[in-house]
Amino acid sequence: MRRSYPIRPRLRRRGLLESPWLIPALAAAGIAGYVGVGSGSMPEPASLLSLSHVTSTFGKCSALGRTCVIDGDTIRIRGETIRMLDIDAPETRQAKCASEKERGDRATRRLIEILNSGAVSVVKRGSRDVDRYGRSLRIVLVNGRSAGDVLVSEGLARPWSGQRRPWC
């Protein structure tokens, strides 16, 4: 008995400009070109995995904020929640004491100022991509300098040590 198979239409061959890989390849080439022009405070190229630029104005997050500041070490960009990988800032919502809440509010206000002061870049570094809450772990740069470093130098945050420590 002879089997019949469906006849498949011949696929048309795509030209270079119709390739689905064209845009991602050009984006990667642009990122590679940008990385070579960075300042001294940018992460080393070996640790740099991805980079995206943000041109929005930041404010305090509301229920519908797509690009905003949640607290002193967490932001939202185009709907994606990002935990700043290099710092720990005081809590604002679940503060253990009044001084932690006040310091967390100051860190949040200052982070808004920092993010609105220049070109914002978000850099993936290291092997961990997300934390246990589903937030993307990233270094946030403003004009090539870590926004976390600025908060630490002003006493509004501390370098991330791998574990939370009390602020009270």
47-159: CATH number: 2.40.50.90
Q: Report the C-alpha gap between 88 and 84 in whole angstroms.
A: 8
| pLDDT band of 162, cuts 50, 70, 90 | confident
pLDDT at residue 56 in the model: 67
Q: Name the residue with tokens 């030209």.
A: 15
Cβ-contact 115, 108 below 8 angstroms: no
Cβ-contact 92, 101 below 8 angstroms: yes
Q: Report the C-alpha gap between 136 and 43 in whole angstroms.
A: 17
With a cut of 70, say whether residue 43 has pLDDT above it. no
With a cut of 90, say whether residue 12 has pLDDT above it. no
pLDDT at residue 154 in the model: 95
Task: Supply the residues annotated as catalytic.
Answer: 83, 91, 135
Q: Report the C-alpha gap between 51 and 139 in whole angstroms.
A: 10
**Encoded amino acid at 15, one letter:** G
pLDDT at residue 17 in the model: 52
pLDDT digits (tens, 9 = 90+) for 52-98: 566 668 888 876 678 899 999 999 998 899 999 989 999 888 877 88
Q: Give residue limits of the domains in the chain.
A: 47-159
